[in-house]
Amino acid sequence: MTTLTTTAGTDTHCPYCALQCAMRITPAVAPEIPTIEGREFPTNRGGLCRKGWTSASLLGHPGRVTTPLLKGPDGVHRPIEWAQALDLIADQVQRTRRDFGPDAVGVFGGGGLTNEKAYQLGKFTRLALGTSRIDYNGRFCMSSAAAAGNRAFGLDRGLPFPLTDLDTAHTVLLLGSNVAETMPPFVQHLAGVREAGGLIVVDPRRSATANFTADGAGLHLQPVPATDLVLLLGLSHIVIQDGLVDERFIAERTTGYAALARSVSSWWPERVQAITGVPVHLLRETAHRLAEGRTRGGSYILTGRGVEQHVDGTDTATAAINLALLLGLPGSATSGYGTLTGQGNGQGGREHGQKADQLPGYRKITDPAARAHVAKVWGVDASVIPGPGLPAVELLASLGKPDGVRTFFIHGANVAVSAPNASEVLKGLRSLDFLVVCDFVMSETAREADLVLPVLQWAEEEGTMTTLEGRVLRRRAAVTPPAGARSELWIFSELAQRLDAPSTFSPDPETVFTELRAASEGGLSDYSGIDYALLDSGAEAYWPYPKGSRGTPRLFLEAFAHADGRAVLTAVSPAAVSARDALFRGDTLALITGRLLEHYQSGAQTRRVPELAGAAPHAELLIHPLAAAARGILDGAQVTIANDRGTVRCAAKFSTAIRSDTVFLPFHFPQEENANLLTSAATDPISGMPEFKSASVTVTAGALDPAISDSVPAELQEAS
């Protein structure tokens, strides 16, 4: 049990999304939990969402893992001592490397890890384990947006401007993001644009965010799923044909305009309407409002996972950037383009070495100069650093294969629920020789582990996080952790000693951050000018922040990050076989997935919070009454959703907020309510992003199997 004592008024940040809302934890004595208060900060201005307000509930949760747990032959996890656990891991790693080679050991990280842990995990994987096989769950989140940003700008930072810049915007085009439910404090930054009537939301359903466009506050474009790329090509066509291009910006600050103009010339509005279902007049109005907004407070284009989690996600994000560049929005002090990072440290987590192809500082692992720089910081020869590994979907597909990963480490991820085609991932986990999971609760993935290692929660650790704006923040320890829980930094340090790893692996967060600063110096995401003292002073710290600088709140004001200083317009086009046509075969419907207000990611945390689980205890299939009537489905009745990958059973919920050819499932629930039993592991060829946001399914009326396991954890059921 966590000792719930805190110092008075500990200032820290929310453990959930990348807004990293500021909060204060006030003292408490067991068995009471600390009190959470919102704290004034630019992103949240003192407000918190339901998840933030209840975030302390997990600190003293009865289901907390507080000692290493080893699975016996009978499948039961039993406590063992830390020394025994670490020795067992070291022996298993050495045996695997000896029998199958170093790449038979693999690591899967998480976008919620602090910068220090993300950095040390990448270093530990490559030096102590000696393997190239590392990737992380950010591949499921930001990879397409990152690839598009690097392609166009030479640099990937979610928002290349402070979030508060949106306060004065005249027009905001928001594609594929339901911020009203995923990060509610964000919506206060849309108050001005709503008042101006300039909020434009693109979403196949009338989400809570789309509802903000009502009563003259803006427009809601409701396209057929998987047609966002065509929609964006059509908007670019209108901008060019109607003379809305910022010609001076294009001439002075970009390359590739002629090829882009040719590529969109065939996407006239009537053709786009026929494919997307969005009326011509809304297409034209959207393009003209964006152009008008440039001179009336600013225009912004923001993308989210809804348009990026597709096999053409990189090209779709690129098309959004192309549209922004045609209008001259990026690199302006009053307009811009950005993408909304989801996970708490989704930005920092991808900058310092968790990705299969990257080294700290957003350096490419194949770049000899990058390898030499990092090797010098680590005190090793560059030749000992492995080359690129496998992106997440390929990494998970290799589990248990004869030439694949045999021993696997998972940190801060619940892939049994969150990965696409989840039943195949579960088979892979079960076919491993040895699975180690670091977690603070027995998530669905932890239950599959041979060994579970108890780690610290957010309020029990020191470190840094990086927001969706590229702002580096301090995470502060406010609560004494259970005696048996350990920081991953300590685990890496202990295992590195047992594995005779080169270099050093400190368990101290500030020491690790100091090394991270040196490793990132000169890279795209340069943290070298940031230290704990600066962050503790309350100073704003936006990367890149080289030594001697004051950071970079707004990127690209003078130049983009390509060698010539120009942004690149890249012509993109839909696949020859229409993604839309592939969704509708016979009596099928298009399935889209997303989040609920009450839950976060795989739900491993929020499903254990009574207030949140009570408000949304189960998955529900959002279905239009017309689609339901055609299938004999009643409101609230149990239904079966199926395709060739799997079957989901849950209750139906009627809604006219969704298209009649589309259904919606939240992805927070396990077992037979797991939406990712239906999603495809097909990936974007550039980013490795899986196809989460559209799948073809049949929906039939059917009683729920009485043997289905309740999605609410057993310990919560008992508590209630």
584 pLDDT band (50/70/90 cuts)?
confident
- The average pLDDT across 226-248 equals 97
* pLDDT attached to residue 217: 94
- Identify whether 604 is part of a domain: yes
Task: Say if residue 181 is in the same domain as residue 330.
Answer: yes
- The average pLDDT across 394-401 equals 97
* pLDDT attached to residue 430: 98
Overall number of domains in the chain: 4
Task: Say if residue 510 is in the same domain as residue 650.
Answer: no
On the question of pLDDT at 227 being above 90, the answer is: yes
* pLDDT attached to residue 599: 94
Task: Say if residue 474 is in the same domain as residue 394.
Answer: yes
The chain-wide mean pLDDT, for the chain, equals 93
Q: Which of 5-9, 296-300, 570-574 has the lowest mean pLDDT?
A: 5-9
* pLDDT attached to residue 203: 96
| Coil, strand or helix at 324 | helix
Q: C-alpha distances in angstroms, 702 versus 11, 387, 511, 637, 705?
A: 50, 50, 57, 8, 9
Residue 122 to residue 362: CA distance in whole angstroms: 12
The stretches of 585-670 forming alpha helices (DSSP H) are: 610-615, 625-629
Q: Which of 168-177, 682-691, 704-713 has the lowest mean pLDDT?
A: 704-713
| Coil, strand or helix at 242 | coil
Q: 31-51: per-residue pLDDT in tens?
A: 678 899 999 999 999 999 999
Contact (Cβ atoms closer than 8 angstroms) between residue 229 and residue 315: yes
- Identify whether 223 is part of a domain: yes
Task: Say if residue 325 is in the same domain as residue 194.
Answer: yes
How buried is residue 243: exposed, middle or buried, by Cβ count under 10 Å (0-12/13-18/19+)? exposed
Contact (Cβ atoms closer than 8 angstroms) between residue 267 and residue 232: no
Q: 374-388: per-residue pLDDT in tens?
A: 999 999 999 999 999
- The average pLDDT across 45-64 equals 93
* pLDDT attached to residue 60: 85
- Taking the C-alpha atoms of 592, 597, 603 and 607 in order, what is their torsion angle to the nearest 10 degrees? -130
* pLDDT attached to residue 235: 98
| Coil, strand or helix at 649 | strand
Enumerate the β-bridge partners of residue 620: 651
Q: Which of 26, 124, 128 is nearest to 352 (CA)?
A: 124
Q: 672-705: per-residue pLDDT in tens?
A: 999 999 999 999 999 999 999 989 999 999 854 4
Q: 502-516: per-residue pLDDT in tens?
A: 999 999 999 999 999
* pLDDT attached to residue 719: 33
Query: Using the 8-state DSSP alphabet, how is residue 386 labeled?
Result: -
707 pLDDT band (50/70/90 cuts)?
very low
Residue 135 to residue 383: CA distance in whole angstroms: 20
Q: Which residues of 472-510 are buried (b: 16+ CB within 10 A; e: fewer)?
A: bbbbbbbbebbeebbbbbbbbbbbbebbebebebbbebe
* pLDDT attached to residue 581: 60
% residues pLDDT > 90 (the chain): 90
Take residue 39 and report the two structure tokens written for it. Answer: 């704290």
* pLDDT attached to residue 4: 46
E strand or H helix at 593: strand 589-594
Residues 6+ away with beta carbon under 8 Å from 160 = 153, 330, 336, 337, 338, 470, 554, 555, 556
Task: Say if residue 90 is in the same domain as residue 40.
Answer: no
Q: C-alpha distances in angstroms, 325 versus 28, 339, 560?
A: 52, 15, 12
Q: Annotate 365-383 with three-state secondary structure.
A: CCCHHHHHHHHHHHCCCHH
- Identify whether 550 is part of a domain: no
Q: Which of 472, 594, 470 is nearest to 180 (CA)?
A: 594
For the entire predicted model, the pTM comes to 0.94
Q: Identify the domain containing residue 501 by its residue range.
A: 69-132+360-536
* pLDDT attached to residue 715: 40
Contact (Cβ atoms closer than 8 angstroms) between residue 712 and residue 613: yes
Residue 597 to residue 615: CA distance in whole angstroms: 10
Task: Say if residue 194 is in the same domain as residue 314.
Answer: yes
Q: 292-327: per-residue pLDDT in tens?
A: 999 999 999 999 989 999 999 999 999 999 999 999
Contact (Cβ atoms closer than 8 angstroms) between residue 354 and residue 361: no
Q: What is the identity of the amino acid at 275?
A: I
Residue 275 to residue 166: CA distance in whole angstroms: 31
Q: What CATH number does the domain containing 164 carry? A: 3.40.228.10
- The average pLDDT across 143-148 equals 94
Contact (Cβ atoms closer than 8 angstroms) between residue 648 and residue 674: yes
Q: Which of 54-63, 183-192, 197-206 has the lowest mean pLDDT?
A: 54-63
- The average pLDDT across 568-581 equals 78
Task: Say if residue 410 is in the same domain as residue 444.
Answer: yes
Angle among Cα 56, 601, 33 to the nearest 5 degrees reads 5
Q: C-alpha distances in angstroms, 51 versus 14, 496, 592, 699?
A: 9, 36, 23, 31
How remote is the C-alpha of 60 from its chain's centroid?
26
Task: Say if residue 691 is in the same domain as residue 637.
Answer: yes
- Identify whether 611 is part of a domain: yes
Query: Using the 8-state DSSP alphabet, how is residue 388 labeled?
Result: -
Query: Using the 8-state DSSP alphabet, how is residue 598 labeled?
Result: T
586 pLDDT band (50/70/90 cuts)?
confident
Q: What CATH number does the domain containing 649 carry? A: 2.40.40.20
Query: Which sign, positive or negative, has the C-alpha torsion 354, 355, 359, 360?
Result: negative
Task: Say if residue 511 is in the same domain as residue 463.
Answer: yes
Contact (Cβ atoms closer than 8 angstroms) between residue 238 and residue 675: no
* pLDDT attached to residue 702: 86
- Most distant CA pair in the chain: distance in Å? 71
**Between 350 and 380, where is the model more confident?**
380
Task: Say if residue 513 is in the same domain as residue 620.
Answer: no
Contact (Cβ atoms closer than 8 angstroms) between residue 471 and residue 552: no
Q: Which of 279, 305, 340 is the last residue of a domain?
A: 340
Q: 278-295: per-residue pLDDT in tens?
A: 999 999 999 999 999 999
- Identify whether 699 is part of a domain: yes
Contact (Cβ atoms closer than 8 angstroms) between residue 259 and residue 253: no
Task: Say if residue 526 is in the same domain as residue 381.
Answer: yes
Contact (Cβ atoms closer than 8 angstroms) between residue 17 and residue 344: yes
* pLDDT attached to residue 579: 54
Residue found under tokens 């239950």: 447
Beta strands in 363-521 (DSSP E): 363-364, 407-411, 434-439, 451-454, 463-466, 472-475
* pLDDT attached to residue 580: 55
On the question of pLDDT at 706 being above 70, the answer is: no
Task: Say if residue 504 is in the same domain as residue 633.
Answer: no
Q: Which of 18, 37, 60 is the last residue of a domain?
A: 60
Q: Which residues of 167-194 are buried (b: 16+ CB within 10 A; e: fewer)?
A: eebbbbbbbbbbbbbbbbbbbebbebbb
Q: What CATH number does the domain containing 465 carry? A: 3.40.50.740
Q: Which of 487, 484, 438 is nearest to 458 (CA)?
A: 487
Q: What CATH number does the domain containing 21 carry? A: 2.20.25.90
Q: C-alpha distances in angstroms, 659 versus 224, 271, 509?
A: 8, 20, 49
